[in-house]
Structure 1
Amino acid sequence: MDKLLLALIAGLLYPFSFSPWDWWPLVLLSIGLFWWSLNGATARQGALRGLLFGLGSFGVGISWLHVSMHQYGSTPMWLAVPMTGLFATVMALFPMALGWLTVQLGRRALVFVGGWLLLDWLRSWLLTGFPWLYPGYAMIDTPLAELAPWGGVWLVSLITVASAVWLTELAKRRARREPALLLLAVAGWVLALVPTSFTEQYGDPIPVALAQGNVPQDVRWQLTQQAATRQIYADLTAQVSPGRLLIWPEAAITEFYQDAGTFLRQQGNIMADQQGALISGIPWREWGSDGAVYYNSVTVLGGGEGLYHKQKLVPFGEYVPLQSQIRGLIPFFDLPASSFSRGRPDQANLSALGLTVSPFICYEILYPSLVAQRSHNSDVLLTISNDAWFGTSAGPHQHFQMTRMRSLETGRWLLRATNNGISATIRPDGTVAERLPQFQRALLETEVRTVRGTTPFMHSGPSPVLLLAMAMLAFGRRRRPMGSTSD
């Protein structure tokens, strides 16, 4: 089979290992095929095959981006699709670099595995980062996910790629040439299968409630919708049983706190009078010497205290890079709420009903190190979001899948409240306790538990795994290149 076609097919298969399809064996198959396609390649050919793999994987895997541009950003389809394709092409440069690097350093399996991990990590922060479609996320419902408390999604990804490459070498009857790779893969699976527990649940169950307003995205920011939105969440609050911690989603009320404060404090008092508490996402406005500053925020409105401003902002969604040059070019660059500022990194967690709650707004929950750093003294994790921007596409399901990994990495319960789904509670082992169906206005009343203790990943972050990946590159580079053969 032509190696270019093989690389493209591998990339096209890759996204189907993630939610909503969850065909996790495909992550092993697609990575293995990509590795296979590099056999006999020159460095230039390796780069081209990596580019094709990336175009296939990101072209399918993040195709849902065009929904927000076209359906809610007033960008015509003829422009939204090429813009999404351009972004996928930029992301494809990372596997392109992997293909080139692997061949340039002798097509060693250790180079491929270590390089994959390092390039994924680079993609997580370069130009604000796009931490999407890491191999480890596809393994969330397999035994390998038990590595997450040790090294986060990074370690799960490393062992996933190592396993895929070794199985491919086994199929080609060349596995004996990669003893170090076999040792790594086996050690990873053995560690994953050994029962370990770094945190423990204690105390009585905590009654919580998640409000899912299901306000249509195409009208929720309109001034004429504000009164109706207030009524939706007031009605949901009125249904909550006494003594619960109620969560409203990201920007539940599409008004600044400073404009809707009376209504919000009233709703908070209703919950406090019932020995409960209310936490809500809300846009926030402050005035400084240079004028108004806006934040995407979450605050405790009753039964506690605290205010948190989002740190990790979505490019073009919450802020516009080079806005003085590109604002006004197309409607997508002028979306509502696209002028937010970043919150400070030293903000305190929230306090509600005597609990310490670590808050994360939408995109932030995708950053493993950020979540690990802010979770040390927390009893429970909280993320609020609005995935209505992406309609019925795979985007919200991928987002939810990645959210579950944060529970595993920190060994904590996680509350997730969204505008139209997926709202859920997630156990410390990453499994879903209860969830609401998408695209329905509903209230979920359930219970979670407080947790004490910390995981190794919370202390070390990705550093040990990154050092291991760099050592693999160095070890693979020092070895005499393996002779290439054609298949």
Structure 2
Amino acid sequence: MRHRLLALIAGLLFPLAFAPYDLWPLLFVSVAAGFWCQQQAGSGKEAFLRGWLYGLGMFGFGVSWVHVSMHDYGYMPLWMAIPFTAMFAAFLALFYGLTFSLSWRLGRSALVFAGIWLLLDWLRGWLLTGFPWLYAGYALIDTPLASLAPLGGVWLLTLATVLLSATLIQLRQPGPLRWVAAGLSVLVLLTAIASHFLTFTHANGPEQKVALVQGNIPQDLKWQISMRGETRRIYHELTREIPADTLVLWPESAMTEFYQTITDFIEDEGNQLADRNGALITGIPWRSVSDAGITYRNSIAAIPLRDSENDSERVYHKQKLVPFGEYVPMQSLIRGLIPFFDLPMSGFTPGDPSQPNLQVLGHTVAPFICYEILYPQLVASRSHDADVLVTISNDAWFGTSAGPVQHFQMARLRALETGRWLLRGTNNGVTAVIDHQGRIVDALPQFERDVLYSHYQPRTGITPFMALGVWPWLVLSGLLLLSAMLGRKKKHPHI
């Protein structure tokens, strides 16, 4: 029983390594304690239970903010929102139950544990559109190990975290595997040190002035029809004094009306900036009418759009939609059951994966809307020809919880992985400019209405992670598993 309790406590420690707590050494304590609990299990079933309790602690605490959007803005009673969130955490915890159980059955080594952890993290980010949240590597963004990100992204950082943590426990146990794990751990540390001296991208032209507008419109008012005129006024007032030669960024769904409904207002704002050698990038809902019917999308547009030579390089439609927030799975069965299944913006269609990047003020901009910035491979693949990354979001759905700052922390790693500056515009924070090393250059406080004046440096070049993606680390993890299975077969030939 005490090992199960320890596994739960170890999982609860895991989120403390992330923003807003930033106690990153606890990440290694958490993973090491979890591995030790797995080592002490007497059966694969017991290892699964301990892993599930570990995951329950991790997600029960780490994503508890999900209930805020359900209750505060989805009009779900608290007595329903909390159990729904608990069921979500319990489902996600199954991935760590499998991690503990499979690695126990395949030899209980640090190598296998790290390999299976990475494979199942990757699966969690893909299955059913994925939930790529709280990967261990994100907590290392402000540590010396962060230099591994351009080489292998969050995946290499996660693999390194788990391997180093589990090796601390493995070294206390007899057998040759402990020295193999120790050798790989030393190699990881030496690679991290060497990568501090490597640069894969370089400046490409002069700096560009930017202004990021944070409207800070309360979420409970934002989608009301009576708020539309006030929303236009707020963004017009914040934008009109912005100086010449500036790229202006409005957040996700800055306007809650379709572009096709308020074309004149949006284009006037963009033209005023264009007259001063500037431009506007804004998040805005998009409506398309065709023979197949009406399609709604969550979009980002470079304004002025009207009369542009190529509309496909001026508008981007979001590809990775948030379940229940932007589309409702099995909607014919569950729409209308509770108000949460009928949130505003929950009827969107995903955009085409082959969409080009945006062209603005002579720069190629790789755009990402809210949740999309959490997909490392998506960002890496769209960044090859980009001078700068732009992500817009409306994290007001999650109030004052840890959700928005966790989201911001994860977005920062995309800049480091790609060697590009990142502009992050939000409704109520965190609005910020991030440099190519993942460092915060300028930021606005949360929950304030203001404009962030800053700049970015266009960059070009390809990092190893952009070129190779996650596959080298998935293959490495598979080889670790294969070696364990072959070693187990050799030791127990009748298995």
After TM superposition, the score normalised by the length of structure 1 is 0.97
SS in 2 for 1:262: helix
One-letter identity of the residue aligned with 1:40: Q
Match runs of 1:131-280 below 5 Å: 131-170=132-171, 172=172, 174=174, 177-194=177-194, 195-280=197-282
Q: Distance in 2 between matches of 1:13 and 1:176?
A: 31
Match runs of 1:286-325 below 5 Å: 286-302=288-304, 306-325=314-333
* Partner residue in 2 for 1:442: 450
How far did 1:426 drift?
0.4
Q: Distance in 2 between matches of 1:187 and 1:371?
A: 28
SS in 1 for 2:373: helix
How far did 1:123 drift?
0.3
Contact in 2 for aligned 1:246/1:276 (Cα 8 Å): yes
Contact in 2 for aligned 1:120/1:134 (Cα 8 Å): yes
1:17 pairs with 2:37: no
* Partner residue in 2 for 1:417: 425
Task: Find the partner of 2:415 among 407, 411, 417.
Answer: 407
Contact in 2 for aligned 1:271/1:277 (Cα 8 Å): yes
Q: Distance in 2 between matches of 1:138 and 1:31?
A: 13
How far did 1:188 drift?
1.4
1:453 pairs with 2:454: no
Q: Distance in 2 between matches of 1:354 and 1:91?
A: 43
* Partner residue in 2 for 1:120: 121
Q: Distance in 1 between matches of 2:88 and 2:151?
A: 33
How far did 1:482 drift?
13
Q: Distance in 1 between matches of 2:26 and 2:153?
A: 21
SS in 1 for 2:455: strand
Identity score, percent: 54
Which consecutive residues of structure 2, in runs of 5 or more, have no partner in the other structure? none
Match runs of 1:53-92 below 5 Å: 53-92=54-93
* Cα distance per residue 1:309-347 (max 9 Å; x no partner): 000000000000000000011100000110000000000
SS in 2 for 1:203: coil
One-letter identity of the residue aligned with 1:465: W
Contact in 1 for aligned 2:138/2:154 (Cα 8 Å): yes
- The more displaced of 130-139 and 297-306 is 297-306
Q: Distance in 2 between matches of 1:51 and 1:309?
A: 37
How far did 1:288 drift?
2.0
* Partner residue in 2 for 1:428: 436
SS in 2 for 1:359: strand
The count of corresponding residues between Structure 1 and Structure 2 is: 482
Contact in 1 for aligned 2:132/2:375 (Cα 8 Å): yes
After TM superposition, the score normalised by the length of structure 2 is 0.95
* Partner residue in 2 for 1:37: 37
One-letter identity of the residue aligned with 1:12: L
* Partner residue in 2 for 1:372: 380
SS in 1 for 2:235: helix
Q: Distance in 2 between matches of 1:86 and 1:205?
A: 48
One-letter identity of the residue aligned with 1:159: A
- The more displaced of 43-52 and 33-42 is 33-42
* Partner residue in 1 for 2:392: 384
How far did 1:143 drift?
1.1
* Cα distance per residue 1:112-132 (max 9 Å; x no partner): 110000000000110000000
* Cα distance per residue 1:250-284 (max 9 Å; x no partner): 00000000001110000000100111000000000
SS in 2 for 1:258: coil
* Cα distance per residue 1:342-389 (max 9 Å; x no partner): 000000110111010000000000000000000000000000000000
Contact in 2 for aligned 1:169/1:175 (Cα 8 Å): no
Q: Distance in 2 between matches of 1:174 and 1:322?
A: 52
Contact in 2 for aligned 1:109/1:476 (Cα 8 Å): no
Q: Distance in 2 between matches of 1:12 and 1:477?
A: 31
How well do the aligned residues superpose, as a CA RMSD in angstroms? Answer: 1.5
One-letter identity of the residue aligned with 2:47: G
Q: Distance in 2 between matches of 1:40 and 1:191?
A: 32
Q: Distance in 2 between matches of 1:174 and 1:157?
A: 26
Contact in 2 for aligned 1:166/1:175 (Cα 8 Å): no
Task: Find the partner of 1:347 among 336, 341, 355.
Answer: 355
Contact in 1 for aligned 2:103/2:116 (Cα 8 Å): yes
SS in 1 for 2:391: strand
Task: Find the partner of 1:470 among 470, 478, 486.
Answer: 478
Contact in 2 for aligned 1:106/1:481 (Cα 8 Å): no
SS in 1 for 2:20: coil
How far did 1:203 drift?
2.1
Q: Distance in 2 between matches of 1:417 and 1:147?
A: 27
One-letter identity of the residue aligned with 1:10: A
Contact in 2 for aligned 1:108/1:481 (Cα 8 Å): no
Q: Distance in 1 between matches of 2:29 and 2:484?
A: 23
Contact in 2 for aligned 1:107/1:482 (Cα 8 Å): no
SS in 1 for 2:101: helix
Contact in 2 for aligned 1:159/1:184 (Cα 8 Å): no
Greater than 3 Å deviation, 4+ residue runs: 172-177, 480-483
Contact in 2 for aligned 1:106/1:482 (Cα 8 Å): no
SS in 2 for 1:474: helix
How far did 1:242 drift?
0.9
SS in 2 for 1:336: coil
Q: Distance in 2 between matches of 1:248 and 1:197?
A: 32
Which consecutive residues of structure 1, in runs of 5 or more, have no partner in the other structure? none
One-letter identity of the residue aligned with 1:474: L
One-letter identity of the residue aligned with 1:66: H
Q: Distance in 1 between matches of 2:99 and 2:328?
A: 30
Contact in 2 for aligned 1:247/1:278 (Cα 8 Å): yes
How far did 1:241 drift?
1.2
SS in 1 for 2:457: strand
One-letter identity of the residue aligned with 2:30: S
How far did 1:448 drift?
0.7
SS in 2 for 1:218: helix
Q: Distance in 2 between matches of 1:153 and 1:413?
A: 17
One-letter identity of the residue aligned with 1:444: L
- The more displaced of 95-104 and 365-374 is 95-104
One-letter identity of the residue aligned with 1:118: L
Task: Find the partner of 1:283 among 276, 285, 289.
Answer: 285
Contact in 1 for aligned 2:110/2:170 (Cα 8 Å): no
